[in-house]
Structure 1
Amino acid sequence: MIDSQSIKADAVVGSDSRGFDGGKLINGRKRHAVVDTLGLLLAVMVTPADTGDRAAAQTLLARVAEAHHRLELVWADGGYTGSLITRCLTALALVLAIVKRSDDMRGFVALPKRWIVERFFAHLMRTRRLVRDFERTTSSAEAMIYWSMTLLMTRRLARPRPSRA
């Protein structure tokens, strides 16, 4: 699943790496993430908030396809339609499936498979340092996201398993 999240930037973030997301009215950065079906991070990219989802997805999906050769299908929301679908299929050998919203839904309703990436962003919000972007560079912002997911994965591994009776 691929999606993005706009996040406010702190005063230390330079104007070269921040932008204004007109859809969400946020001045800051945007986190683009690809997660697997368990909600674990495959790749992340931090850009200025005015970067479009399709433009960032081209770079991010190329990274993911190079690192994860067995990946065949990526779910996305309606913001990733257009020529990106054919580019993924021809250049990256990835099927980009758009999860559509039906017309009778109102408000925020978790679309099928969309909740996976939304849960990932919720895990990031539990890490206090990631609630707002305090990092000077985008590479250190990406490192903080990988650090947060490492904590989550080690907690899941260390969790005691129920014994079978």
Structure 2
Amino acid sequence: MNGRKHHLIVDTQGLLLGVKVLPANITDRAGSQQLLQELRQKQPQIKLHLFADGGYKGKWEAWVKTTLGYSVEIVQRPDANTRGYWLPEGQELTEAQIKTFRGHREFIVIKKRWIVERSFAWLSFDRRLNREYDLLPETTEAFIFLSFIRRMLRRLAAFAQQHAVSA
């Protein structure tokens, strides 16, 4: 994925609602704004409740709420904003305080974060999407859509087969 960023909007099942492939010099916030505006134009009837990580807190969050009318929930680590501690002279950091610093943090499951990460992982199963082969970003977007269409068809086929056997 050289030189490009892939922006995805997925539902809570991890299924694709929208995709935008943009140059890597466009920030995640700006890229997601483009994607959300396109999704809003194509499907104005959809009302979304977005889950976003701490990097989207502030101006982006306000823009989504006021411009698009979507609700936003920022999900982040409980120790996300820990920069340091003021301690009295001679007092040492506790083990719990040390674990809040980057490089010492333990794995924590963050609400809803795994959904989009799982969707990106599904894309890695497609060899075509493991490397940036395509000249046009629209071609990469089309292959991402195809990947998710194939995934949905497999789910539907498994569901139909399961219910045909039990009937």
Both proteins in one fold, TM over 0.5? yes
State how far apart, in whole Å, the 2-side matches of 1:133 and 1:35 are. 22
State how far apart, in whole Å, the 2-side matches of 1:60 and 1:90 are. 16
Q: Which residue is 1:161 aligned to?
A: 162
State how far apart, in whole Å, the 1-side matches of 2:109 and 2:137 are. 29
- How far does the alpha carbon of each residue in 1:84-121 deviate from its partner, in whole angstroms, 9 at most, with x for none? 11111111001121101111662554411011111100
For 2:156, what is the secondary structure of its paired residue? helix
Task: Judging by fraction of residues, say which structure has more strand.
Answer: 1
Mapping of 1:60-139 within 5 angstroms?
60-66=35-41, 67=43, 69-103=45-79, 106-139=105-138
Mapping of 1:7-26 within 5 angstroms?
7=1, 9=2
Query: Which structure's CA Rg is the greater one?
Result: 2
Residue 129 of structure 2 aligns with an amino acid whose one-letter code is: L
Q: CA RMSD in A?
A: 1.9
Contact 1:65-1:71 within 8 A present in 2 as well: no
Contact 1:124-1:145 within 8 A present in 2 as well: yes
Unmatched 5+ stretches in structure 2: 80-98
Q: 1:73: Cα distance to partner? A: 0.7
Unmatched 5+ stretches in structure 1: 1-6, 10-27
TM-score (norm. length: structure 2): 0.76
Q: 1:31: Cα distance to partner? A: 0.1
Q: 1:74: Cα distance to partner? A: 0.5
Q: Which residue is 2:93 aligned to?
A: none
Size of the aligned set, in residue pairs, is 140
Aligned residues with identical type, % of pairs: 42
State how far apart, in whole Å, the 2-side matches of 1:42 and 1:109 are. 27
Q: 1:142: Cα distance to partner? A: 0.4
Q: Which residue is 2:6 aligned to?
A: 31
